[in-house]
Amino acid sequence: MRLRTGVIAIIAALIVVMGGLAFSRTTHDARASLAQAVDLMPPETRVAGFTDWAEIRSTLGLGRVTTATDRGTLVSGAFERGLSARSILESFTPTMVAKYGWSIADLRWEMYGQASTGAVLAAGMNDDLKAAKVTSDLRKLGYVETGGIWSLGIDQLTLVAPGLPGTLANIAVLGNERQILASDSLTYLGSVLAMHREHDKSLAAVTAVRETATPLLGAQSAAIQVKNDACASTGLAGETAEVQAQGRNTVKPLGTLVAVEYGARAIFDHAGDQRLRFSMTFGSAAAATRQLKLRSALSSGPFVGRIGQIGDVLTLTSAHTAGSNATLDFAVDPNKGSFMDGEGPLLFAACSS
């Protein structure tokens, strides 16, 4: 395991963040897919789940996916390797192909963001998925376009495509940018579309989000959560009194688990080598350094709140800081555990014991 800090690493991270994550909205967007996705989320987003379908297809050895058999391979392969846990479209693939003419097989990436005021789906289209074809099929399904948004009432959507998520009730197709936005709320989608068109502050403009997301660039699957949600998804609050006591006794000799500003996790899967990364941004660089040491110490031994030892499913391979961010990297066997659904305690990424 290595602990890495220093001015060079911090400066390099800032260059990537400022140049690659937040401020590059162009027709030919060369940024990483996650960077594009975060920049389409409104700043009040609390939880954002990302799936890089182009990377997943590459991981599974798939080229163009055009047949039902290939789509089935994509869906099953992504599921088996724990890469599609953050997708809201994956399970509707056959129905979407039949009704909309496209599915996850035709997307480069997908992100679903949830805020207290609404939720929005953003997606990047493959080069061979034409915006004109998407809008033509929407018209055939009964969608009506107003102000750049195609809408179909929830009741009508249920009749036209039973079982599909209400998120597809309102859809904006950004043809020049090869992106799609969708939401169950016309009003909320309108505000997100206006934010994008007017280049207003997005989630990518939030400093702590940029610090949290930068280490995740290139991941096949990622989840980013604001403080309260990140703490709730990793803590022991829902566990028995015995487990909570075990957690307190484990942490107490080491120090105090400080709450994150934003927390995230991501899967990197290449050539059968799967890595799980936790990215946590704190209130200062000093806090990140202290927390990295504490959390590294919590990355072995009994798996508090789960069965067995942490080392049975996760092996810490590296830990480092950059500014106010701390990351922990683990080798993980997808056959022994899946961690992208956000379910279950993870004391080394928690906010308190």
Residues 179 and 211 in one domain: no
Clarify whether residues 94 and 69 are in a common domain.
yes
Please report, for residues 36, 77, 111, 183, the alpha-carbon distance to residue 23 in angstroms, rounded to integers and kept in the order given.
Answer: 10, 34, 19, 24
Residue 14: predicted pLDDT:
38
Domain containing 316 equals 207-349
pLDDT of residue 6: 35
Is the residue at 218 inside a domain? Answer: yes
The answer to whether residue 318 is domain-embedded is yes
pLDDT for 21 equals 57
Are both 302 and 181 inside the same structural domain? Answer: no
Do residues 169 and 184 touch, judged by C-beta distance below 8 A? yes
The pLDDT value given to residue 10: 34
Q: Is residue 118 part of a domain?
A: yes
Are 173 and 223 in the same domain? Answer: no
User: Are residues 271 and 157 located together in one domain of the fold?
Assistant: no
| 214 and 195 fall within a common domain | no
What does the alpha-carbon distance between residue 80 and residue 93 come to, in Å, rounded to a whole number? 16
The number of distinct structural domains making up the chain is: 2
* Residues 190 and 242 occupy one common structural domain: no
Which one of 161, 178, 200 terminates a domain? 200
Q: In this structure, is residue 192 part of a structural domain?
A: yes
pLDDT the model gives residue 272: 75
Final residue belonging to a domain, choices 147, 169, 200: 200
Q: Provide the token pair at 231.
A: 């703490």
278 lies in the same domain as 296? yes
Tell me which amino acid residue 292 is: L
How confident is the model at residue 103, as a pLDDT? 96
Name 78's bridge partners.
Answer: none
pTM for the full model?
A: 0.90
Q: What is the pLDDT of residues 22-54, one digit of tens each?
A: 544 444 566 899 999 999 999 999 999 999 999
Question: Which residues are bridge partners to 281 per DSSP?
Answer: 262, 325
Residue 45 lies in a domain: yes
Q: Which of 146, 181, 200 is the last residue of a domain?
A: 200
Q: Are residues 220 and 193 in the same domain?
A: no
Are residue 217 and residue 127 in the same domain, yes or no? no
Token code pair at residue 116: 């207290």
Residue 64 burial by Cβ neighbours in a 10 Å radius (0-12, 13-18, 19+)? exposed
Residue 23 in domain? no
Residue 22 lies inside a defined structural domain of this protein: no
- The pLDDT of residue 247 is 92
| Whether residue 217 is found in the same domain as residue 298 | yes
Check whether residue 216 and residue 193 sit in a common domain: no
The two three-digit tokens of residue 153, written as one number:
């009432």
Which residues of the chain have a pLDDT value below 50?
1-19, 23-27
